[in-house]
Structure 1
Amino acid sequence: MPFACSIPAVSTVLADDARVRITRWDFAPGATTGWHEHTMDYAVVMMTDATMAYEVDGVVTQVKLQAGQSYSRPAGIKHDVRNDGPHPMTFIEIEIKR
């Protein structure tokens, strides 16, 4: 079931060249990305401390992350991301082109 939210996260493409696309994501409390699927492997670097929730295959997982923390994911996983904390959340997403 999709996250109930009327607030979309705001994406800003910082760089897009032959090798990578780098996007800054800014979330107000409760904001979501909306359902999407990456066509490229990607890495995320947190810019703020945050409580993030993400949904994959009907399962919602909540994680606490700290500024500077990072993770990577493969392409092809349909998901939605929500700021589950009381403060704005920001991360940088780096998609790796093949």
Structure 2
Amino acid sequence: MTERPLFVLTEQIDNPRTCVNHLLFPAHCETRWHRHERDYVIVPMQACELLIDTGEGPKPVALKAGECYYRDAGVEHNVINPSDTDITLIEVEIK
């Protein structure tokens, strides 16, 4: 099996209260398995569909531009961009 390319995380803000990251998901990339140490909010910059795998196989998740979602820390997961289009998300970690 061919490995997918990795997403690109660019830290934009890191202060005592938050950490804000720019997440670029090039076409057909993935995050690989990881878990967040902090609660976080994701802001999709465009409408898109990602595959999110939490251990039960990848499931499609439709995201709307600017419609945020919240996740608790600690859930191991892998995020995959199955499309031919690059996708950008903003991640805000709550310290």
Normalising by structure 2, what TM-score?
A: 0.92
The answer to whether the aligner puts 1:56 opposite 2:54 as a matched pair is yes
CA distance in 1, matches of 2:28, 2:20: 23
Which runs of 4 or more aligned residues in structure 1 lie more than 3 Å from their structure 2 counterparts after TM superposition? none
Q: Is the 8 A contact 1:47 1:90 kept in 2?
A: yes
1:9: Cα distance to partner?
0.3
Counterparts of residues 41-52 of structure 1 (less than 5 Å): 41-52=39-50
Unaligned runs of 5+ in 1: none
Normalising by structure 1, what TM-score?
A: 0.89
Larger CA deviation: 74-83 vs 50-59: 50-59
1:49: Cα distance to partner?
1.7
Q: State the aligned residue count.
A: 94
Q: 2:71 maps to what in 1?
A: 73
Q: 2:7 maps to what in 1?
A: 9
Between the two proteins, what is the percent identity of the paired residues? Answer: 32
Q: Deviations along 1:27-86, whole A, 9 cap, x unmatched?
A: 111111111110100000001221111100233210121211110000010001011222
